Copies of this chain bind each other. A is one copy, B any other.
Amino acid sequence: MSERIIGSWVSGADGSPYGVTNLPYGVFRHDGREPRIGVRIADQVLDLAGAEEAGLVLAAGALRRPTLNDFMALGRPQWTSVRQRIVELLTDTAHRAAVQPLLVPLGEVELLLPFDVADYVDFYSSEHHASNVGQIFRPGQPPLLPNWKHLPIGYHGRAGTVVVSGAPIVRPTGQRATPQGPIFGPSVRLDIEAEVGFVVGVPSPLGDRVAAVDFADHVFGVVLVNDWSARDIQAWEYQPLGPFLGKSFATSVSAWVTPLDALTDAFVPAPEQDPPVQDYLRDTPHLGLDLRMAVEWNGERVAEPPFATMYWTPAQQLAHLTVNGASLRTGDLYASGTVSGPERGQVGSFLELTWGGTEPVKVGGGETRTFLEDGDTVTIRATAPGPDGTTIALGEVTGRILPAR
């Protein structure tokens, strides 16, 4: 399926990476009013709650809610028909008089967490990232553990500390190991993980599996994720039950959820898998997403992780997540794991970028860094191929480090 590019009557939309072929969803606050669902077009937000109130779009009231959850629960046919209707509203000048008053400049709104997060799962699906981490922490040993190519390794994170892009990140405090024994204090190895998150709309019953082929029936869209990580806390705590406080202080997501319908032209063949995977993990066709990510550290672009290099696909991750009968809920978020390509300039964590903190890098303001300092800002961006050679942008995810309390 490919969408034809149609001119929009909205000023600045044509040629914008947020044109009518993109249309990500979010939740905004304007003029001190209650949170409302909106869709981004160029540098404006179309108030979808207002559009539904005016009868311009119909979604069973789901657009008049303070989060996207009810809308995401409706399912793909409704997602697609609402999107088609929004495109009509923004391209057919017959609707201009009715719709124009519902456009709010982006600069006048506060963007909120777009959905209530049900469960948050974080995978570990980049072969380059897993290999780099293995080499840094277990030099001289095989970089990948024996299970890594047989299943998408993942774990549950803390849903309650998922925050929207722009929320400040308080440096976490905790225990870390030293040669003299564990000590307590603010983390001194605060890091990022640049990831892509998949947001579940349609739930599944407990005890059933979701097949990889049903990915697009359950997953509504995509967010960018920064899985902030305190490497020193994580290293001391993680044996044998995995990451806990080293991650649970905050996870940032973009304010905009890009619907899968906007990414039709971004699906590309994923890397071949060897050894062959179990039947339940076979996705035919085996497709990843050609998202080109960028990591900015105090304004300096320090890495460009290529999402298309991910070993495990989002459809495989969904099939794995539910193969034991675990149910899905609307608002479940599962993230890809750190996205790292084969080159040093393509890694999605500073652990890798500075090779375990041994090789400082140049960041904005002419400074150098190994890990994050108080006041630092990290922004993760991404673009994807749109129809007919165009490019769409995913909403960025940004955050600034505040000192430990």
Name A residues whose Cβ lies closer than 8 Å to a Cβ of B: 118-119, 124, 145, 147, 150-151, 153-161, 163, 170, 172-175, 177, 182, 184, 206-209, 230, 233, 236-246, 248-250, 278-280, 320-321, 323-329, 332, 402, 405
Contacts and interface: CB of A to CB of B under 8 A. Distances in A.
Contact of A147 (B147, B159, B239, B248): B239
A161 B159 CA distance: 14
Contact of A206 (B147, B250, B329): B250
B324 A172 contact: yes
A335 to B, nearest CB: 13
A157 B156 contact: yes
A236 B147 contact: yes
A175 B119 CA distance: 22
B240 A238 contact: yes
A242 B238 contact: yes
B150 A175 contact: yes
Contact of A243 (B151, B172, B242): B242
A245 B159 contact: no
A387 to B, nearest CB: 36
B245 A324 contact: yes
Nearest to A326: B248
Contact of A245 (B175, B230, B248, B323): B323
Contacts of A242: 155, 238, 240-243
A247 to B, nearest CB: 9
Copies in the complex: 2
Nearest to A243: B241
28 contacts: A118-B159, A119-B158, A145-B239, A147-B236, A150-B236, A151-B175, A151-B182, A151-B237, A154-B241, A155-B243, A156-B156, A156-B248, A160-B329, A160-B332, A172-B324, A172-B325, A173-B324, A173-B325, A174-B324, A175-B278, A207-B405, A238-B240, A242-B242, A245-B321, A245-B324, A245-B326, A249-B326, A325-B405
Contacts of A326: 158, 160-161, 245, 248-249
Nearest to A246: B324
A155 B237 CA distance: 10
Which of A119, A172, A327 has the most chain B CB within a 10 Å cutoff?
A119
**A-B pairs with lowest CB-CB distance, top 5:** A242-B242, A172-B324, A170-B207, A155-B241, A156-B156
Contacts of A230: 324
A225 B206 CA distance: 18
A160 B248 contact: no
A190 to B, nearest CB: 11
Contacts of A278: 175, 182, 184
Contacts of A147: 177, 182, 236-237, 239
A324 B154 contact: no
B161 A244 contact: no
Contact of A160 (B145, B155, B249, B327): B327
A240 B156 contact: no
Contacts of A155: 155-156, 241-244
Nearest to A118: B160
A156 B158 contact: yes
A209 B363 CA distance: 32
A207 B175 CA distance: 16
Which of A170, A206, A230 has the most chain B CB within a 10 Å cutoff?
A206
